[in-house]
Chains A and B, each alone.
Chain A
Amino acid sequence: MSRGFGWTEFLFVLTGLRWTILLSLAAMAGGSLLGLLVAILRTAPIRPLRWVARGFIEVLQGTPVLMQLFLTYYGLAIVLDLRIDPWPAVVLALTLNAAAFLGEIWRGSIEAIPRTQWEAAQSLALRYPQQLMLVILPQALRISVPATVGFLVQLIKSTAIASLIGFVELTRAGQLMTSVTFEPMTIYPVVAMLYFIICWPLSLASGMLERKMGRTSRVTDPRS
C-alpha cells in the first residue's frame, strides 16, 4: 500500500521550498559580493586584472553549472581529502557561477556610464577608488537593477540542480514524495507551480523596471 499525495506530503514539499529560497538568497549574497569584485576588476585600468576577470567569466559562463557543482562537491572532497556537506558545496558552486553572470551584467552597466562621468569625477580631484565608489557605481548599479532581478530568476531555477547531489530543496523534496506516493503526475506539476509562484513576480518586476528605466534614461540622456 502506498500513501497518496495529501496535506502532510504537501507540507514536506513546502519545507523544500524554504531551502530553495534560502539557497537562492545565500548564493545571491555571495554572488553579489564576488560579482561586484569581478565587475570592478573587469573594468579596472590595469590590463592583467581585466584579463583575470575576463578568464573567470568566460570559464564559468562557458561550462555547465552542474559540472561546477560536481567539481566542487565530488572533486574537491577527494582532492582535499575532506568530507564536504551538500549545503556548503552548493552555496560555493552557485556563488561562483552567480559571480560570473553578475560580474558580466555589472560590467555592462559600468561601461554604459558615459566617459564624461569619469572625467567629471577626475576633475573634482577624486582618485580612482572614489571615482568608482562615489560616482560610477551608484549610477551603474541603478541601471543594472532590471537585469539583476532577471538573473535572480535564473539563479533560483538553477538551485534545482542541488537535488542531484542529494540536497533536499524543492525539487529533491518532490522526488522523495514521488517515491513514497507514486504520484509523479500530481507532484512534479505542483513543484513546477511553486517555482513559478516565486519566479514569475520577479520576472514581471524585471520587465516592468526595464520598461520604466528605458523611458527615463531616454528622457535624461543628454545626447538624444
Chain B
Amino acid sequence: MHYVFQFGIVYDNLPLLLHGALLTIRLSALAMLFGAVVGVLGAAVSTSSSRWARGIVRAYVEVIRNTPFLVQLFIIYFSLPAIGLRFRADQAALLGMTINLGAYATEIIRGGIESIPAGQIEAGRALGLRRWHIFRFIVLLPALRVVYPALVSQFILLMLGSSVISSISAEDLTAVTNSLQSTTFRSFEFYFAATAIYFVMALGFRLVLDGLGWLLFQRRTAS
C-alpha cells in the first residue's frame, strides 16, 4: 500500500462542499417543518372518528414506510412527469422528503396522541372547553412533548437519508462530492470529508432541535 493521502485538495474545494451542504441543510429544515405539519394533520385524522379518512391515512403511512425513499424519489421525479407533473430536482427532493417524513411523523405523533388518557379529554369537556381547544391544549401539545425526542431522531434520519437526492441530480452535499471526486480521483479524501460534514450536521441539527424542544415544551412546564 503506497497510497499518499492528500487532504489539501479537499481543503481547496471546501467552499464548494459547504455550498452543497447548505442545500442539504435548507431542504432538510424545510422538510422537517412541512413534514411535521403533515404529521400533525395525519395524526389528527388517524385518531378521528371517520373510518374512511383513517383508512386513507393508514394506507399512506404503510406505503411510505414499507418502500425505499430512493424509489419514492424516482416516482416523483421520473414517473409523475408522464402525467404532466414536472418538478425541478430540488422541488422533487423537497416533496419526496416531506411525504416521507410526513408518514413517519404521523405514526410517531399518533402514538403520542393515543397515550393521552381519555380522562384528560373528559376533564376538558367538563370544563366546557371547545373541541379545538381540547385538541390543541389537552391532546396535541402534551402528545408532542412526549414524542418530541422520537421526532428529532426521525428528522436526523431524514437529513442523513437525503444524501440519495443526488441521484435525481439535486446539487446537495453528496452530489457536489460525487463530481469533485470524479474529476480529482481523490475519492477517499472527498467522501471522508463529506461523511465528516454530515456527522457535524447531524450533531448541529440535534443541538438546534433539542434547544427548540426546550423552548417549546420544557420552559412552559417549568414556569
User: A residues bordering B, Cβ < 8 Å?
Assistant: 59, 62-68, 70-71, 74-81, 153, 157-161, 163-164, 171, 174-175, 178, 183-185, 187-189, 191-192, 195-196, 199-200, 203
Contacts and interface: CB of A to CB of B under 8 A. Distances in A.
Given A192-B63, A196-B67, 9 more contacts: A62-B203, A64-B161, A74-B188, A79-B188, A81-B3, A171-B74, A174-B71, A203-B62, A203-B65
14 contacts: A64-B162, A67-B194, A71-B188, A75-B188, A78-B185, A79-B1, A157-B66, A160-B70, A164-B164, A171-B71, A175-B74, A178-B78, A185-B82, A203-B66
Interface residues of chain A: helix, strand, loop or mixed (majority): helix
A143 B79 CA distance: 42
A78 B202 CA distance: 27
Contacts of A188: 71, 74-75, 78-79
Query: Main SS of the interface on chain B?
Result: helix
A135 B94 CA distance: 48
Contacts of A200: 62, 66
A185 B85 CA distance: 11
B158 to A, nearest CB: 11
Contacts of B178: 70
Contacts of A71: 188, 191-192, 195
B3 to A, nearest CB: 5
A79 B191 CA distance: 12
Nearest to A195: B67
Contacts, number: 125
Nearest to B160: A64
Contact of A67 (B2, B3, B67, B195): B195
Nearest to B203: A62
B118 interface: no
Contact of A74 (B63, B191, B199): B191
Contact of B71 (A63, A74, A191): A191
A184 B74 contact: yes
Nearest to B156: A62
Contacts of A164: 70, 164, 167
A189 B83 CA distance: 13
A185 B63 contact: no
B106 interface: no
A65 B59 CA distance: 27
Contacts of B72: 192
A74 B188 CA distance: 7
B71 A78 contact: no
The 3 closest A-B pairs by CB, nearest first: A75-B188, A160-B68, A199-B66
A158 B71 CA distance: 11
Given A67-B174, A67-B195, A79-B188, A160 B79 contact: no
Contacts of B185: 78
Contacts of A192: 63, 67, 71-72, 75
A192 B153 CA distance: 25
A79 B72 CA distance: 34
A70 B68 contact: no
Given A62-B202, A184-B82, A74 B1 contact: no
Contacts of B154: none
A163 B3 contact: no
Nearest to A68: B195
B181 A74 contact: yes
Given A163-B70, A184-B82, A189 B75 contact: yes
A79 B3 contact: yes
Contacts of B155: none
Interface in B48-68: 62-63, 65-68
A79 B190 CA distance: 12
Contacts of A70: 174, 177-178, 187, 191
A160 B86 CA distance: 24
Contacts of B79: 184-185, 187-189
